[in-house]
Structure 1
């Protein structure tokens, strides 16, 4: 099978899946994209050879990038068993960082951090414009951000600019766990 056949198959599956998820008929999608319904039918069958203009219109109508349309389809659901979750040891081995996102998405990270007593680690500044949300699940985690230290106890949530220099420390006598969620935030438009 040629690369063209693979891409045509990916395109066909992605269009059909995205259209069904949005509860659109081929006719409604054609109307939104301002292209003939027959063009969508050909693309969904894997026999179409769409122009770049039609791909752009279709991607815009579905709210995705052209890359998403042409990439290998992602399964809607996946289970990552606990033994397969990647774990990084940091802070001289006193902190385990469990990487909870199996998909690589620019600017987004979800990690579970497990600290031994006295464990600490420097945070890695994230992409500019991101915000980090840290919720302590067990114990108390001290988070230093831009010269200020916050005591985040079990159940507390600390939100801070993810692109700033920061660090974490288990400030209790027993183990501590925290969940870190990093998200890109849109820039304020003023107003």
Structure 2
């Protein structure tokens, strides 16, 4: 990318915006849709020619899931450290804690770490046809039932299945916690 002409802040914004957008696998059109900002505005910002309002910066930062200062800071290595309490943890089903494996949005996928209390059971949410799910068991034994068929997945094993089918997860151990990683490759609507 050429150096943006204009102020240092415009130059920083241009370089940071291009890097963040590309890191997330987004086109200018995709970022425009996510942020509610016209694509021409995104293009102007990336060229260093834009003079954005605070409202535009807020929308773009939210769409990229970064603080505004990360858009305006001097370009640096794209490194960010999240403290454990900054990574959203939610409970689903009975005794299942889920947190994102990657705390930034990754286009067309969901990646989560799942901790199952002893005996915990959780129903999965069916996705669009064409979605593929992968479950890697990191510890313990998890029974995954897909469309009525049960599969036992032990430590180090992986189960792949169509994500649009009804499915559920259960820790088979009544004493120890089980842990796994779920990666869902989402199908695009209308495809």
Give the TM-score range, shorter chain. 0.5 to 0.7
Partners of 2:87 and 2:18 in 1: how far apart? 31
Q: 1:125 to 1:107 in 2, by over 3 A?
A: farther
Higher gyration radius (CA): 1
Contact 1:107 1:127 in 2 (8 A): no
* Structure 1 runs not aligned, ≥5 long: 1-7, 22-39, 49-69, 187-191
Moved over 6 A (4+): 8-11, 40-43
**Cα distance in 2, alignment partners of residues 86 and 97 from structure 1:** 8
Pairs within 5 Å for 1:94-105: 94-105=95-106
| Residue aligning to 1:119 | 120
Alignment partners' CA distance in 1, 2:84 and 2:144: 27
Query: Aligned pairs, how many?
Result: 141
Question: Structure 1 residues 46, 126: CA separation in 2 closer, same or farther (over 3 Å shift)?
Answer: same
Which residues of 2 match residues 62-101 of structure 1 at below 5 A? 71-72=60-61, 76-92=78-94, 94-101=95-102
**What TM-score do the two structures reach when normalised by structure 1?**
0.59
User: In 1, distance between residues paired with 2:123 and 2:157?
Assistant: 20
**Which position in structure 2 is the counterpart of 1:129?**
130
Q: How does 1:39-188 map to 2 (within 5 A)?
A: 44-46=47-49, 71-72=60-61, 76-92=78-94, 94-105=95-106, 107-173=108-174, 174-184=176-186
- Structure 2: how far apart are the matches of 1:175 and 1:42? 48
Consecutive unaligned residues of structure 2, counting only runs of 5 or more, are 1-9, 24-42, 52-58, 71-77
- Report the alpha carbon displacement of residue 85 of structure 1 after superposing the two structures with TM: 1.4
TM-score, structure 2 normalization: 0.59
SS in 2 for 1:83: helix
Aligned Cα root-mean-square deviation (Å): 3.7
Deviation at 1:177, TM superposition (A): 0.5
Q: Is the 8 A contact 1:10 1:71 kept in 2?
A: no
